[in-house]
Amino acid sequence: MQLFPFGLKLLRLGALSQASNHPAAGSSGKRGRRLPPARSPLWPALIGGTLILFTFVVLSDQSGGAVTYTATFPAAEDTYVKNTNATTNYGQDTTLQADMEPSIKRALIRFSVTGIPSNATIQSATLRLFVVDESNQSGSVQRVNGSWSENTTTWNNAPAVGQQVAIIAGAAEEDTWKETNVLPAVTGNGPVNFYIITASTDGVDYGSRQNTQYQPTLVIRWSVPTSAPSPTPQSTPGGPGATATPGPTPVGGVTPGGPGATATPGPTPFGGAIGATYFVDNAAGNDGNSGTSESAAWRTVGKVSNVTLAAGDRVLFKRDGVWSGPLTLAKAGTADRPITIGSYGSGALPVIQGPGDCVDVKGTRLIVTQLNVKDCAWAGIRVSTGATFNRIDGNLLTGNVAGVHVASGASDNVIVGNTLQNNNRMSVNTPGGSDDNGAFAVLLNGDRNEVMNNSISGSDAFSYDYGRDGAAVEIYGGQGNNIHDNLAVDNDAFSELGNSRARDNTFSYNVVRSSLATSTFVVTRGSQNGFGPVANTRLLNNTVVMTGASSQGFVCHAGCDSSILMMRNNIIEAVQKVGYADAAFDEDYDLYAGGQAQFPLGAHSRIADPMLGNVGAGDFHLAAASPAVDTGVNVELTADFEGGHVPHDGNGDGIAVVDRGAFERGSTSVAAPPPTTPGPTATATPAPATPRATPTATAGSAPTPTPTTPPPATPRATSTATAGSAPSPTPTTPPPATPRATSTATAGSAPSPTPTPTPTPTRAPTPSPTPTPTPTRTPTPVASPTPSPTPRPTSTATPGSAPTPTPAPFGGDPVIAAAGDIACPSSSPGSTSCRQQDTANLINSLNPTAVLMLGDAQYDTSTAANLAAYYNPTWGQFLAKTWATAGGSHDFYGSGDWYSYFGRRAGPAPYANYSFDLGQWHIISMNSYCADAAHPTGGSCAAGSPGYNWLQNDLTTHGNQCTLVFWHQPRWSSGTTHGSDTGLADYFQLLYDHGVELLLTGHEHMYERFAPQNGSGGLDQAIGVRELVVGTGGRSVYGAGTPIANSEVLNNSTFGALKLTLHANSYDWQFVPIAGQTFTDSGSGACH
């Protein structure tokens, strides 16, 4: 596959990129009631005491036209179930909760759909949910297999979870609406039932119907012929006397409520509220029309390219229509009001075609969906330099040089749910030289793209220089791209990467299948190549099956090492060879079958039959006896190719461990190959993804002049060139080719873990691999869907079974910043008080994996007002990665406001103990406020108390080698304000008995480090517990007395934070002072 050297010089070519961690919270995330516009055709009706609102929008007044209706149905019933409270009904709760740990929670929602005529065509169905507690995942929508009711259903009698309807894409950000297309589950009148489940251990909470302003809604759009009678509005559930509560206006419909809710005509965009709707009809339209109805449609793409569009507007092309490009989209939507380019009517998708340019996305917050883009001069859809936060969603792209091209300088876009088929045209294909290039399904030059849930096939073309060429997803110069959950069939390569700017790209849970004679999974390169090094490429949990005689898995050449490539949990079957590397790199826990393994295998990698299902029929699931089941390693991903939970107990031994490959055993659906006949439709489009982490963007830069010649190609590796001899690409002429790496092996020979170069009848050989010792891995930042190890809360009532010890998570060892006693009720800093802003600045500079708040976040009382005024503007910026003590002393004051602020970041319930794993460490948060009988300690921390029993159970059932505990009051202290707390003696004894390494506390406003001690305070350097008192978060400093026994370091004049680096079997500590202060303390210790 020929790499493409676009770099920064070929601005003509568009770009697409997206991989941030959270969706944007629009500025109008919570909108009040809006008045309906003048002449709004809003029909409220009261039938049987129940209010229903319908929107009637006439799109055509001509005979043979259609009337389109949009109605919003509120939830009729909803509840959630929880496995740890298996007999409890939550039907009257104001939230709907989905979680995987510490308890499994699943939400149930029922809508009663009425008023849709029998001759109606349902065009869209959108489920909308309001996030009241954020999560890194939004969950999935499943069918419900059985009956249930709001007020009687519990975990014990809940119906079974059915097939997946849709994925609610992206992270769930608090106080925003999430929505997804559920059209396959809506067929007409009657009940519509959904489960909301998640595979994440960071659960998500949505508003329930008891939370009337933010209750779930189902927005349905349908059309009927104009000759048909108008439907009679019918009641939605709610019962006699139901009242309407004004609230935010749902997408594409009206808020269930009284007069005054806003009616919104037409189809619903995925991203948020809508504005005007314009129609384009290539047969009956006229560019002199208003475009605002089907009968007054525009005619040309030129009109669309030049018209002024506002945020929230939509332009819909008529199905069965055909237009020649270019369609230029240089507009700007907003996070909650994107501009949508889509289709309307019935029939085949509207076609935008060549022979010239087709669709060029130059703006921001645009959605391009349901188009057939084909036979274009270059890219079917290109996202140009400066274009950001766009979504290319559910299109059919065929017959192009590049189906989608994302240019350098375009970032944070999503390519999701598209069918990219037979994009197999070459841009350059001439005898001689090494400049052939083309046949890209997706080409990425930009940063932070997310390419997900696409079906990619047929990117394979004849090349004079290389025999065959093409790629499903090619990356040249792009950084932080996330390519996951794609199905790729019969492409020359799945991916090739080049340019020394390219780095931190992740490929996970993709399914790759090829029967082509020559095909490759991934090709990357090191510093000895003129188009390298490409740093930090990660291949995680991919399933690759290639049956061609000259097929090979991965190729890492020209200086491969652990900084170039990391592989975990992949299954790779190939005939000629399963992989080639010219030196050792970071590879482990992979499974190979077929040809030679020309690289040093990791300690846990295996060569064995993976025992997949019927691959020819598209079934890649693991058999029960597969060596891939429960033998992988945690890479901080939580959902497989089908959205199933990871890890899952696949072998029935009671311990959930990650499987190797893209399918976690226990999934049931089959990955089907891409269709041979083009035709994605509104009813079959995969669920859309939502762009994540979106600060408000501005419109893209001005268009760059389009060059008249195709961009030059990045050379691929062949044996005819010396590694690294290819010159750098220039703007004017295509550079000579970088040799494409093709390692040598005998086709079909037995696999061998030792690189053994042998002659091959195909393609010239690459340099013979020389085994070298595997270098020590250097931790690197992780740009995968989970940027850093994510703490996982565990149950406070019944801790689970001990986890299976695993190697340190990839991406570097976790770093913790910890301190307590933080914000005083003033924003004016003094020399010895109110330094919370300074400590916040310090923590921000440390950029830790997690922050441990050691109690007393806010003085003197943790009321909501105080927290909002003083803690939140300083330490509040770390809330998403903060873990708070289960209660300090001042934290308990304020009528529960402290827990309302921190929520699950302080445990699953107010004052409840909790624990989680971070890297290889087990972390426990305890409520140490033993004197208060109203709290879960029961008024005591002595042996036999509720807190003692919980701590004993948690320590017993978690077998991690390294354990850290944090609570507020110090067991040992030289302070004169509080001193040592003898009420915690039994707790501390438990820590010692179970080999705990570290105890972090606050309460005394000072820093003090103790040597490891036994339960009675005696020195024990071998297995003692080291306590560090870090009450230095900013409130003030306290007096200190004579250091007590085993106090090694004491300072009561410095504000700062403790930095802890948690290695697999050791730790490093460093006390870091705020700016302007100098005291510090550092050292290291080993786990017991």
The enclosing domain of 1025 has a CATH number of 3.60.21.10
At residue 709, φ and ψ (nearest 5 deg) are: -115, 155
Domain termination residue (choose one: 193, 224, 255): 224
Q: Could you report the average pLDDT of every consecutive run of 10 residues in the chain (1088 residues)?
A: 35 26 27 24 27 31 52 92 92 91 91 86 89 88 92 93 81 87 88 90 90 88 58 28 27 26 30 75 96 96 95 94 95 89 92 92 95 95 95 95 96 94 90 85 96 94 88 96 95 96 96 94 94 95 95 96 97 96 96 95 95 85 93 89 84 87 72 33 28 27 28 31 27 29 30 29 27 27 28 30 30 86 91 95 92 92 86 90 82 66 80 86 90 59 89 89 95 94 94 97 96 96 96 94 96 97 94 96 94
Amino acid at 277: T
Query: Interior CA angle at 41 toward 40 and 44, to 5°?
Result: 110
Together in a domain, 212 and 314: no
Among 207, 212, 30, 28, residue whose Cα is nearest residue 130: 207
575 in a domain, yes or no?
yes
701 in a domain, yes or no?
no
* Alpha-helical regions (H) of 847-915: 864-866, 897-902
Together in a domain, 294 and 420: yes
pTM: 0.47
Question: Residue 118 and residue 116: Cα distance in Å, rounded?
Answer: 7
- What CATH code is carried by the domain that includes residue 516? 2.160.20.10
* Per-residue tokens: 919: 């890297």
Regarding beta strands 1056-1062 and 66-74, do their DSSP bridges make them parallel or antiparallel, or are they unpaired? unpaired
51 in a domain, yes or no?
no
Asked if residue 714 lies in contact with residue 477, where contact means CB atoms within 8 angstroms, the answer is: no
Asked if residue 806 lies in contact with residue 634, where contact means CB atoms within 8 angstroms, the answer is: yes
What pLDDT score was predicted for residue 729? 28
Together in a domain, 315 and 216: no
Together in a domain, 195 and 304: no
1040 in a domain, yes or no?
yes
Question: Residue 670 and residue 813: Cα distance in Å, rounded?
Answer: 37
671 in a domain, yes or no?
no
In 3-state terms, what secondary structure has residue 280?
strand
Together in a domain, 155 and 303: no
Together in a domain, 289 and 168: no
- What CATH code is carried by the domain that includes residue 169? 2.60.120
Asked if residue 54 lies in contact with residue 73, where contact means CB atoms within 8 angstroms, the answer is: no
Tell me the C-alpha to C-alpha distance, in Å, between residue 829 and each of 698, 808, 826, 832, 856. Answer: 37, 40, 8, 8, 18
In 3-state terms, what secondary structure has residue 835?
coil
Asked if residue 623 lies in contact with residue 602, where contact means CB atoms within 8 angstroms, the answer is: no
Together in a domain, 906 and 1023: yes
- The number of distinct structural domains making up the chain is 3
Domain termination residue (choose one: 583, 617, 651): 617
Together in a domain, 391 and 290: yes
Residue-wise burial string across 807-824, b where 16 or more C-beta atoms lie within 10 A, e elsewhere = ebbbbbbbbbbbbbbbbb
At residue 214, φ and ψ (nearest 5 deg) are: -130, 40
Task: List residues bridging with 221 in a β-sheet.
Answer: 70, 124
Together in a domain, 147 and 284: no
Amino acid at 431: P
Together in a domain, 492 and 372: yes
| Side-chain half-sphere exposure of 361, counting CA atoms within 13 A | 36
Asked if residue 180 lies in contact with residue 394, where contact means CB atoms within 8 angstroms, the answer is: no
122 in a domain, yes or no?
yes
* Per-residue tokens: 394: 């559910």
Together in a domain, 207 and 292: no
Residue 894 falls in which region: left (phi positive, over 0), alpha (psi -120 to 50) or beta: left
Question: Residue 970 and residue 987: Cα distance in Å, rounded?
Answer: 11
Asked if residue 1010 lies in contact with residue 1027, where contact means CB atoms within 8 angstroms, the answer is: yes
At residue 793, φ and ψ (nearest 5 deg) are: -60, 145
Q: Which H or E run includes 989?
A: helix 985-993
Domain span at residue 1064 reads 815-1086
Query: 435: which residues sit within 8 A by CB, 6+ positions away?
Result: 2, 428, 465, 712, 713, 715, 734, 735, 736, 737
What pLDDT score was predicted for residue 726? 29
Together in a domain, 297 and 179: no
Question: Residue 725 and residue 687: Cα distance in Å, rounded?
Answer: 46
Domain termination residue (choose one: 200, 224, 248): 224
Asked if residue 1043 lies in contact with residue 1020, where contact means CB atoms within 8 angstroms, the answer is: no
The torsion of the CA quartet 238, 242, 248, 251, rounded to 10 degrees, works out to: 40
What pLDDT score was predicted for residue 485? 94
39 in a domain, yes or no?
no
384 in a domain, yes or no?
yes
Peptide bond into 814 cis (omega under 30): no
